[in-house]
């Protein structure tokens, strides 16, 4: 039985189930044709959709949202273009195992206000590639642009003979409706992108979910780093779309010996170090202490706008607000995730102190997500990586674009970045079409030569320990 609150949900789910049945009959060529058509339509409208997103939400910069739309269409498409998602995808005669890809069934895609059109197109494309109908739940502040993106891709897919209702959405989808959709037994999977509460609701719904956690990303500028280059890369990342990517840097950690040069380079790059006496003003402007969350009114806003709102005078052209910090924790709001061009700044005594600060920041609100290091010392990079709880450790790379993948590295391009068990997620993957398949394994009888001569009766001899049994087993083999 469905637990739907809105009777329209029953109709949506029934249509999705019918679409799934038709989808199941398509071959790889037909599937690929649908994906190509939808991708091309989305790519063609990348600029118009980016402008529409900024106009509706007031978040970010349309020029950067164009790049997000490109990643969500062209980059994602190229990454999965040759991926087999229908029928036999692998067969190995020697092992006797054949792998068959099957769709999951109807998917619910929850869309955030920070990256609305790009996330819509990304989730539609990976769902079409895997023959899964998708139902979209839009953030209330991004309904118009999200609807436009969904309609463009859906109509292109239909023109390429996709099943009716393979993409659906509710024009007005309340939180209660979204929760009801999540709990519906006919749903196969939730792709949850949004705040911590929403992701928690997805995982608590009883429906399998691929969600993402918050990103509170520390970036460590280690003493061997090329400091001007590191500063340039951090500015590229943290100011991209006014800091709205969860993988953007949230705190800079430098060693004492490098601090003066780092600060000089940031100042040269139009970053402004907020005076100590003004930091409480900044905290009050960007953080809602009652909710314990960043203030939604400053998300994705320019640095100068935020400074004005806080009553802080900054030089014209300021692109990033930097706040010196001594401590990490909920009592120190700038040490928490803030999706805006604001960043905490810590000076560490040495390498070990710097790593401990990164661990504390990661633990505060970014477990399993992403960490960043700028260094030319491979031993230090290795040690840092071994100590961090992060699905993505980006090296000498803008963290935002590096974690998303496809631009500065060969990670799978994705708008859904898993955080593993640290972030209470099921995977650390950059989620792609590969995560939206059921893989059946046909296993034919074969002799496993490793156990071919093994005498199972050894197990019944209670006086033989594990080492003795293994020794006899190896002798027989």
Which stretches within 61-174 are classed as H helix? 62-70, 76-80, 116-129, 143-159
Which residues make Cβ contacts (< 8 Å) with residue 476, sequence separation at least 6? 453, 454, 455
Nearest-angstrom CA–CA distance, 162 and 30: 8
Which stretches within 311-350 are classed as H helix? none
Q: In the 8-state DSSP scheme, what is residue 344?
A: E
Q: Is 246 a catalytic residue?
A: yes
pLDDT the model gives residue 1:
40
Every domain of the chain and the residues it spans? 7-212+432-438, 217-414
Ranges of residues in the chain whose predicted pLDDT is under 70? 1-6, 449-455, 476-477
> Could you say which of 166, 246, 336, 419 is catalytic?
246
- Whether CATH 3.40.309.10 fits 217-414: yes
Do the two domains 7-212+432-438 and 217-414 of this chain adopt the same fold? no
The structure's pTM equals 0.93
- In 122-248 the beta strands, taken as DSSP E runs, fall at 134-137, 167-169, 189-192, 209-211, 217-221
pLDDT the model gives residue 453:
61
The superfamily in CATH containing domain 7-212+432-438 is: Aldehyde Dehydrogenase; Chain A, domain 1 (3.40.605.10)
């Amino acid at each position: 039985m469905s637990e739907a609150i809105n009777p329209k949900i029953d109709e949506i789910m029934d249509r999705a189930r019918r679409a799934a049945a038709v989808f199941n009959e398509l071959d790889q060529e037909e599937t690929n044709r649908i994906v190509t058509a939808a991708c091309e339509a989305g790519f063609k409208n990348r600029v118009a959709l980016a402008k529409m997103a900024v106009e509706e939400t007031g978040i970010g910069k349309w020029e950067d949202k164009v790049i997000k739309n490109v990643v969500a269409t062209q980059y994602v498409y190229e990454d999965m273009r040759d991926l087999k998602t229908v029928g036999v995808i692998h067969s190995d005669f020697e092992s006797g195992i054949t792998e068959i890809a099957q769709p999951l069934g109807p998917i619910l895609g929850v869309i955030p206000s920070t990256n609305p059109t790009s996330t819509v197109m990304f989730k539609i494309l990976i769902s079409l590639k895997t023959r899964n109908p998708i139902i979209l739940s839009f953030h209330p502040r991004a309904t118009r642009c999200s609807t436009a993106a969904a309609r463009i891709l859906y109509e292109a897919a239909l023109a390429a003979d996709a099943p009716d209702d393979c993409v659906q959405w509710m024009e007005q989808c309340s939180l209660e409706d979204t929760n009801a959709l999540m709990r519906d037994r006919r749903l196969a999977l939730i792709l949850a992108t949004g705040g911590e509460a929403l992701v928690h609701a997805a995982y608590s719904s009883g429906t399998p979910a691929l969600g993402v956690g918050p990103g509170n990303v520390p970036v460590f500028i280690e003493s061997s780093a090329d400091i001007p280059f590191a500063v340039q890369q951090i500015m590229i990342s943290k100011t991209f779309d006014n800091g709205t990517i969860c993988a953007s840097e949230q705190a800079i950690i430098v060693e004492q010996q490098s601090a003066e040069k780092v600060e000089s380079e940031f100042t040269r790059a139009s970053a402004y170090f907020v005076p100590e006496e003004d930091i409480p003003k900044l905290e009050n402007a960007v953080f809602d202490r009652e909710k314990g969350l960043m203030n939604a009114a400053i998300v994705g806003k320019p640095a100068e706008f935020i400074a004005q709102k806080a009553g802080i005078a900054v030089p014209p052209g300021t692109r990033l607000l930097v706040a010196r910090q001594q401590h990490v924790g909920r009592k120190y709001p700038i040490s928490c995730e803030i999706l805006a061009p604001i960043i905490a700044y810590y000076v560490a005594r040495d390498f070990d102190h710097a790593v401990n600060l990164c661990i504390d920041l990661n633990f505060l609100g970014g477990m399993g997500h992403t960490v960043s290091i700028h260094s030319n010392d491979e031993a230090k990079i290795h040690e840092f990586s071994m100590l961090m709880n992060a699905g993505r450790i980006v090296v000498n790379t803008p963290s935002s674009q590096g974690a998303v993948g496809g631009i500065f590295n060969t990670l799978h391009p994705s708008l859904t970045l898993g955080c593993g068990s640290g972030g209470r997620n099921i995977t650390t993957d950059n989620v792609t079409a590969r995560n939206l398949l059921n893989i059946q394994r046909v296993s034919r009888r074969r002799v496993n030569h490793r156990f071919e001569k093994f005498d199972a009766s050894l197990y019944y001899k209670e006086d033989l320990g594990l080492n003795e049994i293994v020794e006899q087993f190896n002798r027989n083999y």
